[in-house]
Amino acid sequence: MDSIYKALTEFESSGLLLRDFFIASDSRSLKSAYLVLNQAASALTEEEWLAVEYDFNALFVGPGKLKAAPYASVYLEEAGLVMGKTTLSLREFMEQLGLSLNKENNIPDDHISCVLELAVLLSVNARQSAEYTEAFIHYVNEYVLSWVPVYCEKIKINAQTAPLRHVAETLSDWLDELKTRVSI
């Protein structure tokens, strides 16, 4: 696994760090992912971390209506439901490339963590294959940029804690870099 990470660019590594943050499943993994993503965050108190965890759940997990649902289909489907036609189209796109998700975590294909991981995977492979370059450009322009900027704005608007606003800004900056990589 370490050899895979050594082959990644800083941009690609950052994408995986963002993936790890958005896929955090408990307070320990959330804190760990955030600390790796933002080295200056270690000064938060335990009470502040509880507020971040509460904010994370309100934005992305629930219960109740999510303030910033981490699923593409919520933004791209008329009914705003998870696992709609756009999710199935994404699955078909991946299958055409010979890819599939590891179903271990039971996360829908259009979850932001999966979207980021696929962008990184395509970026890595695009450096060595024209087929992947075309797929990478298509994926970013037709899929990622069609909803992730709106998702970032929802986080910025609804986040109650500075760490979550910081992650939204980090994701926005990462998207800006992603745009430059597909417009070359």
The model carries a pTM of: 0.91
pLDDT digits (tens, 9 = 90+) for 92-115: 998 898 887 766 567 888 999 999
Mean pLDDT score of the chain: 88
Most confidently modeled of 22-26, 90-94, 156-160? 156-160
Q: Running DSSP on this structure, what letter comes out for residue 68? A: S
Give the chain's domains with CATH numbers. 2-182 (1.10.3480.10)
| Whole-number pLDDT of residue 109 | 85
Torsional sign, CA 79, 21, 154, 170: negative
pLDDT digits (tens, 9 = 90+) for 49-98: 999 999 999 999 988 899 999 999 999 988 777 777 888 888 899 889 88
User: Which residues have a Cβ under 8 Å from the Cβ of 132 and sit 6 or more positions away?
Assistant: 97, 122, 125, 126
